[in-house]
Amino acid sequence: MKVLITGGSGFIGANLSERLLGDGHEVFCMDNFYSSNKSNVEDLLSNQNFKLIEHDILNDLPEDVHAMDFDQIYHLACPASPPRYQKDHVYTLRVNFDGTLNMLNFAKDVAARSGKSPRFLFTSTSEVYGDPLEHPQSEEYRGNVNPNGIRSCYDEGKRVAESLVMNFYHAYGLDVKIVRIFNTYGPKMDADDGRVVSNFIIQALNGEDLTIYGDGKQTRSFQYIDDLLNGIISYMELDEDFPGPMNIGTPDEFTILDLAEKVLAVTGLGADLKFCSLPGDDPLQRCPNTALAKQKLGWEAKVPLDEGLKKTIDYFRSQVERQGK
């Protein structure tokens, strides 16, 4: 298959590129490196089935790319961690609206000239549920989002992008799938993007205090990257005409304090906790209902937190050693 991945050198995109190459696909990885690191895909550059395209999806596609007929498009591009998506709120909104519109129009052009719609999978987010009043969150829940808060560029951005994708499905019969990704962690996470898992691991490895925002009793459910990839690839491969949305995440819910304890236990290191103020609109609880993914794909997350943390910690340790050399 000929596959285009926007945001292909980010944490999820780079892992997805590697997996799809291993499965024998031809992978075109598009990124402008706004919030990702080229080094994530450097090892893939020697693979003849891998092409890196430096491009900002707000602009017209390069002509040679526009002329290609892709079988599958994974549309991931968007700054995703709170510090990164809040660096330029308007840019984040534009990536979600204008960027998604550009990619959908491209898919529509491919469908018109080839007679077959590429399958277009859009990665939305659990953030569309905001600070949820329903727990756990199922796909029918419409969310509790502050439309003008500091997270709104991302959560409202993803909501309007979902609307665009769904309207291209209804208006033009585009073959689309919308997946809502819950907190995910693993190797190739960006050490500097401020996410809780990477922050805690790096702080522990550097002998620093772990920064707990608020009282640390807010919850998240952390899924390991391999589980996420299994989920989104099997959804992409689902031939049923089912645009979603579909939650992909683990129902195992932990407080941030639980996570700090686990990171220290798995690293075998000690650290003090440093309590800091809770950022505005930070959701107090988050946990997916994954019955739909189980029913449609036979999928559920399998990797326990301890096991995934161990692999992630090994990755960050090797990065620290590499930098030390």
Looking at the annotation, which residues are catalytic? 154
Nearer to ligand UDP, 280 or 298 (CB): 280
Q: Does 256 sit near ligand UDP (CB under 6 A)?
A: yes
Q: Does 174 sit near ligand UDP (CB under 6 A)?
A: no
Q: Does 199 sit near ligand UDP (CB under 6 A)?
A: yes
Nearer to ligand UDP, 97 or 213 (CB): 213
Nearer to ligand UDP, 119 or 286 (CB): 286
Which of 211, 255, 285, 319 binds ligand UDP (CB under 6 A)? It is 211
Per CB under 6 A, the segment of 111-119, 155-163, 210-218, 224-232 that binds ligand UDP is 210-218
Per CB under 6 A, the segment of 20-28, 46-54, 103-111, 194-202 that binds ligand UDP is 194-202
Nearer to ligand UDP, 261 or 282 (CB): 282
Per CB under 6 A, the segment of 22-30, 136-144, 160-168, 206-214 that binds ligand UDP is 206-214
**3-state SS track over the chain:** CEEEEECCCCHHHHHHHHHHHHCCCEEEEEECCCCCCHHHHHHHCCCCCEEEEECCCCCCCCHHHHCCCCCEEEECCCCCCHHHHCCCHHHHHHHHHHHHHHHHHHHHHHHHHHCCCCEEEEEEEHHHHECCCCCCECCCCCCECCCCCCCHHHHHHHHHHHHHHHHHHHHHCCEEEEEEECCEECCCCCCCCCCHHHHHHHHHHCCCCEEEECCCCCEECCEEHHHHHHHHHHHHCCCCCCCCCEEECCCCCEEHHHHHHHHHHHHCCCCCEEEECCCCCCCCCCCECCHHHHHHHCCCCCCCHHHHHHHHHHHHHHHHHHHHC
Which of 282, 291, 296, 311 binds ligand UDP (CB under 6 A)? It is 282
- Please report, as ranges, the residues that interact with ligand UDP according to CB under 6 A: 81-82, 183, 195-196, 199, 211-213, 218, 220, 256, 279, 282
